[in-house]
């Protein structure tokens, strides 16, 4: 099983990083990758005007930018359009790289049918909530509460004329669901026993398992991570990783914070994200992304 809680590669104390002003170093930046929830998006799932302006200012300095999230590519499109993102976006924790301008996949890595079957059988047996992400649909059990997030997205999409996400109940039809192909299963697990039980079930598949929320695990194919998605996109764009800056706040951001030339964690980040970050920005609610862009990224390119 692949875990994204990688060992600390930076010895600087997080408190000193938080209090030390950002200084230009490390050469020019050519690409910036932003996590969404908790990084660009506040608790109301909105991007502040200051953060929007700061992100858009990157292009004036010759820096392109994109988004990386555990969300589906369709959910991410609204934010990509809001920020005028021109690069492909990294969806489903790196299982999908999607060109939202051309409406096509650049990369997609699906889970094996047996991994899907074993995971769903466990979740049904324990009555756990979950969402399954396929290329064109979100599958969920009829008792799901988490599906309300997708329904809220569809309401916003209708208002903007964006494509809706198809939603379909998958009650105990695990083999049929597995045959349709999945890139990610989001499992809502409210206690440690259920979390560890699911980890044990998927371990023989060497699946990627990463926490995306305090009570949720994302299950994906082996060797899937935001970091791998970021690295692949950088190769496609012919950009060296040392010229990439990544922003994140949670365990599923650890891989890209560690792999980027500069990893910037938000002030409220998980311990795993803080441990690998080169710099710590103020929390999302304090426009931390804008602060880091203004005080580190743009001065670094000017230097």
pLDDT at 33 over 90: yes
Q: Can you list the positions of beta strands (E) in the chain?
A: 2-3, 31-35, 64-68, 89-91, 96-99, 104-108, 129-133, 137-140, 166-169, 184-188, 208-213, 216-220, 244-248, 262-266, 279-281
C-alpha–C-alpha distance, residues 247 and 283, integer Å: 12
Q: What is the pTM of this model?
A: 0.87
* Tens digits of residue pLDDT in 95-109: 999 999 999 999 999
* Tens digits of residue pLDDT in 192-248: 999 999 999 999 999 999 987 788 999 999 999 999 999 999 999 999 999 999 999
State residue 302's pLDDT score: 82
Assess contact for 110 and 208: CB atoms under 8 A: no
State residue 26's pLDDT score: 62
Please tell me whether residues 175 and 31 are part of one structural domain: no
Question: Domain span at residue 208?
Answer: 113-220
The verdict on residue 18 lying in a domain is no
Number of domains in the chain: 2
User: 177: which residues sit within 8 A by CB, 6+ positions away?
Assistant: 116, 120, 132, 139, 170
State residue 135's pLDDT score: 84
C-alpha–C-alpha distance, residues 277 and 214, integer Å: 20
**Is 5 or 29 the better-scoring residue by pLDDT?**
29
CATH code of 245's domain: 3.40.50.1000
110 DSSP 8-state letter: P
Please tell me whether residues 30 and 50 are part of one structural domain: yes
Please tell me whether residues 95 and 236 are part of one structural domain: yes
pLDDT at 93 over 80: yes
pLDDT at 14 over 60: no
The verdict on residue 20 lying in a domain is no
State residue 38's pLDDT score: 94
């Amino acid at each position: 099983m692949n875990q994204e809680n990688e060992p600390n590669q930076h010895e600087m104390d997080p408190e000193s990083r938080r209090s030390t002003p950002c200084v230009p170093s490390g050469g020019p930046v050519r690409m910036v990758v932003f996590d969404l929830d908790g990084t660009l998006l506040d608790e109301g799932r909105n991007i502040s005007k200051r953060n929007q302006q700061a992100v858009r200012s990157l292009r004036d300095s010759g820096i392109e930018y994109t988004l990386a999230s555990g969300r589906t590519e369709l959910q991410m499109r609204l934010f990509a359009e809001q920020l005028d993102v021109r690069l492909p976006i990294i969806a489903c924790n790196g299982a999908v790289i999607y060109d939202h301008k051309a409406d096509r996949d650049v990369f997609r890595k699906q889970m094996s049918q047996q991994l899907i079957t074993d995971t769903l059988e466990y979740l049904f047996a324990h009555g756990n909530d979950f969402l399954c992400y396929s290329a064109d649909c979100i599958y969920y059990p009829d008792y799901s509460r988490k599906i309300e997030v997708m329904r809220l997205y569809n309401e916003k999409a209708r208002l903007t004329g964006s494509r809706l996400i198809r939603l379909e109940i998958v009650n105990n039809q695990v083999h049929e669901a597995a045959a349709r192909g999945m890139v990610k299963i989001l499992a809502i697990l409210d206690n440690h026993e259920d979390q560890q039980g699911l980890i044990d079930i998927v371990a023989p598949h060497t699946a990627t398992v990463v926490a995306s929320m305090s009570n949720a695990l994302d299950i994906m194919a082996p060797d899937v991570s935001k970091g791998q998605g970021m690295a692949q996109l950088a190769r496609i764009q012919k950009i060296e990783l040392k010229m990439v800056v990544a922003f994140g706040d949670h365990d599923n951001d650890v891989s890209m914070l560690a792999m980027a030339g500069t990893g910037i964690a938000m002030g409220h980040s998980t311990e795993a994200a803080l441990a690998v970050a080169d710099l710590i920005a103020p929390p999302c609610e304090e426009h931390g992304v804008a602060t880091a862009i203004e005080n580190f990224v743009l001065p670094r390119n000017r230097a």
